[in-house]
Amino acid sequence: MGAAVAVPGAGPADAAARRRIGRWLLLVCLMVWIMVALGGATRLTGSGLSIMEWAPLSGTLPPLSEAEWNRLYDLYRTIPQYALVNQGFGLEGFKRIFWLEWVHRLWGRLIGLAYALPLLWFWARGRIPAGLKPRLLLLLALGGLQGVVGWVMVASGFEPDRTTVSPYRLVAHLGLALLLYAALLWTALSLLQPAAPAAREEEAAGTRTLRRWVRVAAGLALLTMLAGGFVAGLRAGLDYNTFPLMEGRLVPRGYWWLEPAWRNLTDNVAAVQFNHRLLATLTLAAAAGAAVVAWRGGRGAAREEAARRRRLALGLLGAVALQYALGVATLLLVVPVWLGTLHQAAAVLVLTVALVALHALRPARAAPEAAR
């Protein structure tokens, strides 16, 4: 996620400002985490296409009259999802799916305010270290881009013969949300702990080995999450609801039947679900490997350092194991809304623990000449 935030010549006042900014960014992280969970619930209930207008300002208010409710309902009745999935469910049924999507969008607006207003306050009072300003502006731009990508994704669901959004745009929306969350969290951690802890040479060697394992686990976890986006986009979790085999086979029939071959990675239900399972299993194996390395590598290290490594590695293994169990349960129970939402939220937990571990295990950097 980039280097830690460096602040040459920082004094006590600057350190206090960094802590305040770091805590503020952690609060925004929590709001993004909730937003990811809301997005999962919106997708699982089919609510995402209920609002067919993108009105960043006027859309903040819900319909305030019966005429406005009927106007929005009439708009919704023009798209394939209504005709093929929800035909005849009436205005009351429309209101049920409308409110969840409205809360989802409102929460996105609140995240924007929770980020932009404190940013303006810190900036106006001169509390932002000069080296941090470009990063904070980049995070603001990423947040705005996420709103645009979200609407582009929703608009794909209005196309003829389509009752859900494009899986490609769904994965782009999810991937950008994870990128934004990761950048916010890494920046906050770097502000709250700007210097990596020093370690003896033999301890540093053990930390490097563990860091490589954690990186592999984190990379595989991210690939698993993106693969999960295609599972969600194709509703692939509604098929092959057995584990560990798929229709009695390790590799399902029809795994590679689409042409051109690359389409199987994104458009083939059997292949998409198998790939998600495989990546999740590899992630679990990598996290277990990191735990073994931390346990064995602590023998020659100082007691505190060994305990720190073990906590980080076992925390990662615990988060991945929990997410793996939730994924299996979600599959076997044929994707109930509450469990599917929890599964998506727990993916952010895995990302969080992985980033915290990587940040804690990052190599110490020599202080800049200006800071000396």
In DSSP notation, 5-32 reads PP-TT--HHHHHHHHHHHHHHHHHHHHH
pLDDT confidence of residue 197: 58
Bigger pLDDT: 193 or 181? 181
Structure tokens that stand for 137 in this block? 């502006």
CA dihedral 184, 38, 177, 17 (to 10 degrees): -10
Those residues with Cβ within 8 angstroms of residue 139's Cβ, 6 or more apart along the chain or in another chain:
115, 180, 183, 184, 187
Res. 199: pLDDT tops 80: no
What's the pTM? Answer: 0.92
pLDDT surpasses 60 at 300 = no
Q: Tell me the mean pLDDT in the region 217-235.
A: 97
Q: How confident is the model at residue 301 (pLDDT cuts 50, 70, 90)?
A: low
- Range name among 278-282, 306-310, 311-315 with the lowest pLDDT average: 306-310
Task: State the average pLDDT over residues 318-338.
Answer: 97
Mean model confidence pLDDT for the chain? 90
Residues of the binding site: 276, 343
Provide the H-helix boundaries in 157-200: 167-192
At residue 345, does pLDDT exceed 90?
A: yes
Tokens linked to 65? 């009259």
What number is the average pLDDT over the span 217-229? 98
Q: Is the pLDDT of residue 198 over 70?
A: no
pLDDT tens by residue, 24-35:
999 999 999 999
Binding annotation for heme:
276, 343
User: Which residues, 6+ apart, have CB-to-CB distance to 141 below 8 Å?
Assistant: none
Distances (CA, A) of 255 to 133, 244, 261, 310, 368: 48, 16, 10, 39, 53
For residues 277 and 323, the answer to whether their CB atoms sit within 8 Å is no
